[in-house]
Structure 1
Amino acid sequence: MTRPSDARLSDPQSSQTDGDAARPWRVVIAPDKLKECLSATDAAEAIASGVQRACPQAWLDRVPFADGGEGTVEALARAMNGTLSEVEVRPPTPDATPIVARLAHWRDADGATVAALEMAAASGLALVPRDRRNVARATTLGTGDLIRHALDLGARRLIIGIGGSATNDGGAGMAQALGYRLLDEQGQDLPPGGLELSRLDRIDSSQRDSRLNDVEILVACDVTNPLCGPRGASAVFGPQKGADPEMVQRLDQALCRFADIIRRDLGQEIRDVPGAGAAGGLGAGLMAFLGGRLQSGVELIARAVDLERRVSQADWVLTAEGRLDGSTADGKAVAGVVRVAAARRVPVVALVGSVGAGWERLGNLGLTAIMPILTQPLNLDQALNPDHARSHLSFAAEQATRILLAGRTLR
């Protein structure tokens, strides 16, 4: 079935009681991104257009959502009516040309500036062509540049999404960009790269950016890997970045030395902290050098956008993602939306491109229903076409809204 662009079904609102009609229906629209297709912001707009066709007077609260990974900055900028800024930063490959990364910033209820950034925008694997990937030399210098820019904007709280990294340097480059000196036995600064940490002799924090003393660092992290060992950054994530077994061992030894020097010079024990191994050890670096606090990405973003309050005011919630399966329940954005809605007994419908094994776990969390986005068989290229996706998503939202309205009038 193709989407009938101009057809209109009978209006289910006509059966509402006088009491119901006294106020507009309130709908929270909180989708995740549809990967490789639509951003969370674009998805929210497509859903909103469908809801408005079915219920023109509905009060819509668009809350593009994320779990701390790709899309977090854009989602927060939209949800918080923030500003997106671009800044030139150093790339993850030391000899490459600078790149442009974005961060979002806004003022909270107390007037303090909050900034959000993704390490993948500055130090991500997707930024490095396959034939130039070298995890031993990859650096988080650019992530440090991005943090420094947030400080220049006057940020008093930073929300940092970590994941999708090209690096395995434990956040060493990030620390160097913010004034820390990582020195070898000759007192020379270490060059970029995780492998260089095997030569680390001491950490000099005398030139650390003093503005960090007045900033709260919140880190969106949903992995629990320690820094070192068989479940550590190098062993688990190194092969994904091109490290062979010998290189994995060398990188792990370098991070172990890094942890030892951090404990001695900074008084921070970070080797076995859950999440320390996230993003090539950046989780450890953010804790040790910046005093960052690692938190569930979904929970952190939910608090940042005040999701609980917004959902509590809604008659129903619409969320969306490309594929819904068992992994969705493991800390992904849609699961976070479902939990919040279910806790407040607000119906929540997921609009999805496909459904995979384990989807029942979302039902156990409180998902009311699943509405397929696609209306006809499509190949992958067609399904991922943004124009097609917007149309199908809008149509699915319209039908979901009509069903929800019909259910309300039958009470």
Structure 2
Amino acid sequence: MKFLFASDSFKGTLSSERIIDLLTESANKIFPGCETFGVPVADGGEGTVDAVIAVTKGNIKTVKVHGPLMEDADATYGEFNGDSAIIEMAAASGLPMVPVDKRNPLNTTTYGTGELIRDALDSGYRKISIALGGSATNDGGMGAMSALGVKFLDAEGNVLSGFGSDLNKVADIDVRGLHPAVAETEFTIMCDVTNPLTGPDGATYTFGKQKGGTPEILDEMEAGMKKYAKLLLDKTGIDVDTVPGTGAAGGLGAAFKVFLNANMKSGIETVLDLIEFDKLLEGVDVVVTGEGRIDWQSAFGKVPSGIGMRSKNKGIPAVAIVGGMGKGADKIFEFGVESIIPTINGAMEIDEALERAEELYAGAADRLFRLLKVGMEIKK
């Protein structure tokens, strides 16, 4: 028997690497002499860089950047395969970097994300993947593009800094200073939201509240975002509101599309391609995946659906061990996952489940492999 383990982390309790250890121990106990192999996986959110670097044997690089409030900060990105870099925008412009009492999307910028990209370009990387999500910003990507040499100007010709408050001020765009390596670089944006830049489902009204936006602030920013979208259309001919995902990360998706000619792609699909997951499936009998909680959303760009479909396409059964099950969890059965094994083995409070996460996972792993053994006996 050959098993492949590819689970998302259980946030706050179990890392993907620890899950691999627990599955390996259990599999060898129930199937002595079996072959096991595990890879950490993420869906384009937190942990994506670590997962890709672990599999590709790449390196983590630390860079001095400016955070969402233009404070000095250290941020990291991954470098691998000699020509590739992978960046999580949240590493430089993430919401946790802003104290709760200072959260206001008018006052935040993606400048630091642009600095990470600039460093990757200066280091010679010409394949750059960027995970969107978890942003503290709603600046339309002006901050990031400013760090890459684009100038956003007000009506008097003054250069704007690229904060959210500048959306209402921008009147012209000068791209002549854009980093020259952009033209020869392939950018892939990991994005699983389809929100446009503006409108009721756009960046501001969908995500702005969680970044500290009051109704008054959001109305002001939406007016500015509409002005910005029109300017992009006038200057580039691209109507960003017709491109799904341009509202991601406070409009950073729009800037990447317009200025970097980036390809937008599902986070989990990008990660699986980067780690060459299909090659890892060769000779595998069963794949074990999972996540902390599985529900109807898991079928849309989450780790179990991505792993399940890749496995299904190769004719390999996949099963999921999960911390808990929510409404619509059975939808995952349409995406190559054949069964779900919850770790919870009795009635308990969430705090107890979290405290006992490792013990409960090990028990669920034992149950899973024992059930697989029964299936083999039936087949005989």
Q: Is the TM-score greater than 0.5?
A: yes
Deviation of 1:405 after TM superposition, in Å, equals: 3.0
For 1:5-404, what aligned pairs fall within 5 Å after superposition? 25-94=1-70, 97-107=71-81, 112-385=82-355, 388-404=356-372
The letter for the 1-side match of 2:52 is: L
Instruction: After TM superposition, give the deviation of residue 355 of structure 1 in Å.
Output: 0.9
Q: Distance in 1 between matches of 2:146 and 2:39?
A: 36
Q: Return the TM-score normalized by structure 1.
A: 0.87
Report the CA distance between 1:56 and its aligned residue.
Answer: 4.4
Q: Secondary structure at the match of 2:323?
A: strand
Q: Which runs of 5+ in 1 are unaligned?
A: 1-24
Task: Tell me, in whole angstroms, the C-alpha distance in 2 between the residues paired with 1:100 and 1:369.
Answer: 42
Distance 2:239 2:328 in 1: 38
- In the alignment of these two chains, the number of paired residues is 379
Distance 1:34 1:153 in 2: 34
Letter in 2 for 1:30: A
Structure 1 segments, 4+ long, off by >6 Å, are none
In the alignment, what sits opposite 2:375?
407
Q: Quote the RMSD (CA, aligned, Å).
A: 1.8
Equivalent residue number for residue 10 of structure 1: none
User: Is the Cα contact below 8 Å between 1:197 and 1:257 reproduced in 2?
Assistant: yes
Displacement of 1:401 after TM fit?
Answer: 2.2
C-alpha contact 2:305 2:336 (8 A) present in aligned 1: no
1:168, CA displacement in angstroms?
A: 0.5
The answer to whether the 8 A contact 1:228-1:272 is kept is no
Report the Cα distance in structure 2 between the residues aligned to 1:106 and 1:332, rounded to whole angstroms: 24
In structure 1, give the amino acid aligned to 2:28.
Q
Change (3 A) 1:51 1:85: farther
AA at the equivalent of 1:401: F
| Structure 1 residues 54 and 149, CA gap change in structure 2 (3 angstroms) | farther
| Equivalent-residue separation in structure 2 for 1:84 and 1:405 (angstroms) | 40
Q: Which runs of 5+ in 2 are unaligned?
A: none
- 1:362 deviation in Å? 1.2
For the 8 Å contact 2:146–2:162, the answer to whether it is kept is no
| Contact preservation (8 Å) 2:152, 2:162 | no
Distance 2:195 2:343 in 1: 35
The CA deviation at 1:398 is 3.3
Spell out, residue by residue over 1:8-50, the C-alpha distance to the aligned partner (whole angstroms, 9 max, x if none).
xxxxxxxxxxxxxxxxx22111101212222323333332333
Q: In the alignment, is the contact (CA less than 8 A) between 2:90 and 2:135 conserved in 1?
A: yes
SS at match of 1:369: strand
> Alpha-carbon deviation of 1:105?
1.6
**SS of equivalent to 2:289:** strand
**1: distance between equivalents of 2:363 and 2:83?**
38
How many Å separate the matches in 2 of 1:99 and 1:39? Answer: 25
Q: How far apart are the structure 2 equivalents of 1:316 and 1:282?
A: 39
What letter is aligned with 1:123?
Answer: S
CA distance in 2, matches of 1:33, 1:279: 22
**CA shift for structure 1 position 406:** 3.3
Match of 1:16 in 2: none
1:312 CA displacement: 4.3
User: 1:268 & 1:334 partners in 2: Cα distance?
Assistant: 35
- Find the aligned partners of 1:34 and 1:317 in 2 and give their Cα distance: 18
SS at match of 1:410: helix
Q: Does structure 2 retain, via aligned residues, the 8 Å contact 1:256–1:271? A: no
Deviations 1:147-174 (A, max 9, x none): 1222233212111110111110111100
